[in-house]
Amino acid sequence: MRLSRLGPVGQEIPTVEVDETSYDLRPITDDIDGAFLSLDGVQRTRDALASGILSELANARTLRIGAPLGAPGKIVCIGLNYRDHVQETRAETPMEPVIFMKDPSTIVGPNDTVYIPRASMKTDWEVELGVVIGTTARYLDSPADARKYIAGYVLSHDVSEREFQIERGGQWDKGKSCETFNPLGPYFVTANQIVDPQNLGLRLWVNGTQRQNGSTTNMIFGVDHLIWYLSQFMVLRPGDLINTGTPAGVALGLANHPYLRAGDVVELEIDQLGHARQRFAQA
């Protein structure tokens, strides 16, 4: 199943898409969020579809596509998690996952405008596989236990300001948490639809020029390992989002550092998780 939220900012309608038809989920939930997932929302959606209680959202194709996940409790991000990205940034290969947090209010829709911060000269792109937690996870015994805690997967754009991140005190969060810096979607694909999250292609273009073309096979720490690892340090709750890192091709790693400017258009996609397009504007 593909879950999405359609409509104006703050008025998004929760929907489920089946065979190109969007069904209104409001008979069973107000939103697609942590509360929905914690109450077995994915299975309740399946049951509602089977029982026929959901109506088609007739104007779905004309509505704005919102972020498919409403108000995550936290966004946990993994840095330097692709071998080729480590090489392009001339960093050392991490022995353990590099963790930082991102303000959940950075989430916007997949085609919404992204704002370049005032005084920013180094706004950068990063296509990432996002993992949505569906069940509370704490102190997992091994990575083999991780899959049952995953609700699904989503296309995530971890926009970054490199000067703020690296040159202004070494605190990554402030280079990652600027307004609109996490476009998400177009939809949230339930876990049973993705057979192998470690075999997905990720691609990104800036103004029509391809900049990233990678695969989750190149992760240093796979999805299962990340969930197990994070659960040793924090409680992962339903609706939390994990951004799992980006492959090579970011502006930071390119010779001429072609950072984003107002008017630039970024398009990105991940196999089975859809396509997104964002125009950048000055804040």
158-181: pLDDT as tens digits: 999 999 998 987 778 899 999 999
- Whether residue 7 is found in the same domain as residue 145: no
- Whether residue 62 is found in the same domain as residue 103: no
Nearest to 109 by CA among 65, 60, 153, 62: 65
Q: How confident is the model at residue 90 (pLDDT cuts 50, 70, 90)?
A: confident
**pLDDT for res 169:** 79
CATH code: domain of residue 211: 3.90.850.10
Q: How confident is the model at residue 186 (pLDDT cuts 50, 70, 90)?
A: very high
Q: What average pLDDT is seen over the chain?
A: 96
Q: Is 196 helix (H, G, I), strand (E, B) or coil?
A: coil
DSSP structure class, residue 103: -
Residues 6 or more apart in contact with residue 95 via CB below 8 angstroms: none
- Whether residue 265 is found in the same domain as residue 183: yes
Nearest to 166 by CA among 261, 73, 75, 251: 251
- Whether residue 149 is found in the same domain as residue 46: no
- Whether residue 59 is found in the same domain as residue 128: no
Q: What are the C-alpha distances in Å from 122 to residues 11, 73, 84, 253?
A: 33, 28, 21, 12
- Whether residue 117 is found in the same domain as residue 213: yes
- Cα–Cα distance measured from residue 254 to residue 258, given in angstroms and rounded to the nearest whole number: 7
CB neighbours (10 Å) of residue 282? 11
**pLDDT for res 228:** 98
Domains in the chain, number: 2
Q: Which domain holds residue 52?
A: 2-66
Q: Are 131 and 244 in contact (CB under 8 A)?
A: yes
* Burial grade of 215 (CB within 10 A; 0-12, 13-18, 19 or more): middle
**pLDDT for res 187:** 97
- Whether residue 97 is found in the same domain as residue 136: yes
CA-derived radius of gyration, the chain: 18
Q: Are 241 and 130 in contact (CB under 8 A)?
A: yes
* Burial grade of 51 (CB within 10 A; 0-12, 13-18, 19 or more): exposed
Q: What does the CA dihedral 181, 185, 188, 193 come to, rounded to 10 degrees?
A: -120
**pLDDT for res 126:** 98
- Whether residue 137 is found in the same domain as residue 250: yes
- Whether residue 151 is found in the same domain as residue 118: yes
Last residue of a domain, one of 37, 66, 95: 66
- Whether residue 229 is found in the same domain as residue 93: yes
195-249: pLDDT as tens digits: 999 999 999 999 999 999 999 999 999 999 999 999 999 999 999 999 999 999 9
Q: Are 173 and 182 in contact (CB under 8 A)?
A: no
- Whether residue 175 is found in the same domain as residue 86: yes
14-48: pLDDT as tens digits: 999 999 999 999 999 999 999 999 999 999 999 99
Out of 9-18, 85-94, 202-211, least confident range: 85-94
**pLDDT for res 220:** 98
pTM: 0.97
- Whether residue 53 is found in the same domain as residue 160: no
